[in-house]
């Protein structure tokens, strides 16, 4: 296979680059060794945010860039990215109130988005309804956005495919040979039936977006030395039964200088995170330690009336931040900005270190602008106004779309229809295209998962396994019991023989 660009890694940065480059007219293949988004990009705090705390490290450029991206992405993917009020309780022994106000004032002004309400102080009646401990009598409210990280990755991968990119999950780069005019690459692909297939590909340039594995791929597979080094920082999250009777999120200041988020999560739960643990080697998969669970419970319990215990944790996950090493010893102080390392002594390689989900589009644009040096016919930047698949609501009006969908499909459960809008946007219509009645939805596997959605995911979104469907194409695993998982597993096995 002859390609212009091979992208290694199907996390947010890899799919972002694949989409941008393909839309500029390059022939692009993306290889991902496991499922799309199975690395760090499915283990985040699920925020599209400026990163309020980076103001304290004077990272104004990163905050400004992230806030601009927040505005762009809420416009391009209104079904996936939602405005969320955050409350910051004041802790008199930590940062003074005026400092919090000033920080949020700067945050608002770096954003310049008229669609996002400004920060404000809450009055005592409002604070009384928050279910915080009674010693918190001052608090500020500001806005950021929440999202579903792995669904965002899937949508950007679909955009890349629409632009002509070949997306290859379960395809690991195992060898690469550099020549003057390109790379000869070997991929090992795992087929649906478990068989291994070896593929060879020739490409003119490589983007190494392997996240925590980026340094390893650069050194051991591509045989290059990068100018920058990676720093691996683990972060963990807990999911507990809903702690609050309202839908505000909290940003909690801890005595160690860090902040912890409490986020309303999927109607029934609260998501708590995160930690910052320096790692010397990649944990695969990364493990949430007992100490991290206790730490997150302890910080939460300092603030909330409905305290939690480690026994109440329903689900936990950890991810590894692939940060670039800026020589900070304190893991929480290492910059979250990104660096693109270029090696072009012969056919070029670009290695990505750092970054955030929030800045993926900008990172991809910056990287693809660099490609024009090597591909003179490469088109101009275009993604700023390109809706993600399913984000193209008439007059940008998602509420009318929801309303009309329920009105036009009165024989279908409204909750299931809303689930389709939240996960697929306007593509919800593709799923229910031939469906008139509830029975047409097919087998009910559990929660809101019916056969028609499973079939759609297998056919259109590269889903193969139970985890692909329950934890990355959505988060319905939180409601599934063992026998429901088994039934889904058996159903998926039937596809392997087709």
Ligand X SMILES: Cc1cc2nc3c(=O)[nH]c(=O)nc-3n(C[C@H](O)[C@H](O)[C@H](O)COP(=O)(O)OP(=O)(O)OC[C@H]3O[C@@H](n4cnc5c(N)ncnc54)[C@H](O)[C@@H]3O)c2cc1C
Q: Where are the beta strands (DSSP E) in 21-170?
A: 28-31, 47-48, 82-89, 120-121, 139-146, 166-168
Among 5, 6, 7, 12, binds ligand X (CB under 6 A): 12
For the record, the structure tokens of 432 come out as 């229910």
Q: Is 172 in the site for ligand X (CB under 6 A)?
A: yes
Among 19, 33, 67, 282, binds ligand X (CB under 6 A): 33
Q: Is 47 in the site for ligand X (CB under 6 A)?
A: yes
- Beta strands 28-31 and 166-168, pairing class: parallel
Q: In terms of CB distance, is 319 or 390 closer to ligand X?
A: 319
Among 3, 29, 38, 161, binds ligand X (CB under 6 A): 38
Q: Is 63 in the site for ligand X (CB under 6 A)?
A: no
Give the other-Cβ count within 10 Å of 18's Cβ: 31
For the record, the structure tokens of 82 come out as 């939602």
Report in angstroms how near the CB of residue 140 gets to ligand X at its nearest. 20
Among 3, 44, 270, 351, binds ligand X (CB under 6 A): 44
> Rg for the chain (alpha carbons), in Å?
23
Report in angstroms how near the CB of residue 143 gets to ligand X at its nearest. 15
Q: How many residues bind ligand X (CB under 6 A)?
A: 39
313-352 positions binding ligand X, by CB under 6 A: 319-322, 352
Helix (H, G, I), strand (E, B) or coil at 52: helix
Q: Is 11 in the site for ligand X (CB under 6 A)?
A: yes
Q: What 3 state SS string does 185-216 have?
A: EEEEEECCCCCEEEEEEEEEEEEECCHHHHHH
Q: In terms of CB distance, is 163 or 358 closer to ligand X?
A: 358
Report in angstroms how near the CB of residue 445 gets to ligand X at its nearest. 26
Report in angstroms how near the CB of residue 78 gets to ligand X at its nearest. 18
| Residue whose structure tokens are 């939240």 | 422
Q: Among 49, 253, 271, which residue's Cα sits nearest to residue 262?
A: 271
- Beta strands 196-208 and 2-8, pairing class: parallel
Report in angstroms how near the CB of residue 321 gets to ligand X at its nearest. 4
Report in angstroms how near the CB of residue 397 gets to ligand X at its nearest. 27
Sort 173 into a burial class: Cβ within 10 Å, 0-12 / 13-18 / 19+: buried
Q: Is 423 in the site for ligand X (CB under 6 A)?
A: no
Q: Is 32 in the site for ligand X (CB under 6 A)?
A: yes
Q: Which stretch binds ligand X (CB under 6 A): 5-13, 104-112, 178-186, 381-389?
A: 5-13
Sort 415 into a burial class: Cβ within 10 Å, 0-12 / 13-18 / 19+: exposed
Binding site for ligand X (CB under 6 A): 8-14, 31-34, 38-41, 43-47, 172-173, 209-213, 217, 235, 274, 319-322, 352, 355-358
């Amino acid at each position: 296979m002859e390609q212009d660009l091979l992208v290694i890694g199907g996390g947010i940065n890899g799919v972002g680059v694949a989409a941008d480059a393909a839309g500029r007219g390059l022939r692009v293949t993306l290889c991902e060794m496991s499922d799309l988004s199975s690395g760090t990009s499915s283990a985040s705090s699920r925020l599209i945010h400026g990163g309020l705390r980076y103001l304290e490290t004077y990272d104004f450029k990163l905050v400004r860039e992230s806030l601009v991206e927040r505005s762009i992405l809420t416009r391009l993917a209104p079904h996936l990215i939602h405005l969320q009020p955050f409350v910051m309780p004041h802790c008199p022994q930590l940062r003074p109130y005026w400092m919090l106000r000033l920080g949020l004032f700067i945050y608002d002004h770096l954003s310049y988005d008229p669609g996002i309400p400004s920060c404000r102080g809450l009055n005592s009646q409002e604070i009384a309804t928050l279910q915080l401990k009674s010693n918190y009598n001052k608090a500020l409210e500001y806005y950021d956005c929440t999202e579903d990280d792995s669904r965002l990755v899937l949508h950007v991968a679909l955009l890349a495919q629409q632009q002509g990119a070949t997306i290859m999950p379960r395809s690991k780069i195992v060898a690469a040979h550099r020549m003057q005019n390109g790379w000869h690459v070997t991929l090992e692909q795992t087929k649906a039936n478990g068989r291994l297939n070896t593929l060879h590909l020739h490409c003119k340039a490589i983007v190494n977006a392997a996240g925590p594995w980026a340094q390893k791929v650069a050194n051991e597979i591509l045989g290059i030395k990068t100018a920058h080094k990676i720093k691996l920082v683990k972060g963990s999250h807990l999911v507990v039964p809903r702690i609050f009777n309202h839908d505000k999120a909290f940003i909690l200041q801890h005595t160690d200088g860090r902040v912890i988020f409490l986020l309303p999560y999927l109607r029934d739960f609260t998501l708590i995170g995160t930690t910052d643990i320096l790692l010397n080697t990649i944990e695969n998969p990364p493990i949430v330690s007992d100490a991290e669970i206790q730490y997150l419970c302890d910080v939460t319990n300092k603030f909330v009336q409905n305290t939690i215990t480690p026994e109440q944790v329903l689900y936990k996950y950890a991810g590894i931040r692939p940060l670039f090493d800026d020589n900070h010893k304190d893991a929480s102080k290492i910059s979250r900005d990104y660096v693109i390392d270029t090696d072009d002594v012969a056919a070029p390689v670009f290695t990505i270190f750092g970054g955030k989900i929030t800045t993926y589009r900008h990172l991809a644009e910056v990287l693809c602008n660099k490609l024009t040096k090597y591909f003179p016919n490469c088109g101009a930047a275009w993604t700023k106004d390109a809706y993600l698949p399913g984000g193209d609501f008439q007059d940008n009006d998602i509420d009318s779309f929801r309303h009309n969908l329920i009105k036009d499909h009165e024989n279908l459960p409204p909750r299931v229809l809303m689930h389709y809008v939240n996960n697929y946007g306007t593509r919800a219509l593709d799923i229910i295209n031939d469906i008139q009645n509830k029975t047409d939805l097919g087998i009910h596997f559990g929660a809101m998962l019916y056969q028609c959605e499973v079939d759609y995911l297998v056919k259109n979104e590269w889903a193969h396994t139970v985890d692909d469907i329950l934890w990355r194409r959505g988060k319905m695993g939180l409601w599934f019991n063992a026998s429901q998982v088994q039934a889904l597993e058996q159903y998926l096995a039937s596809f392997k023989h087709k």
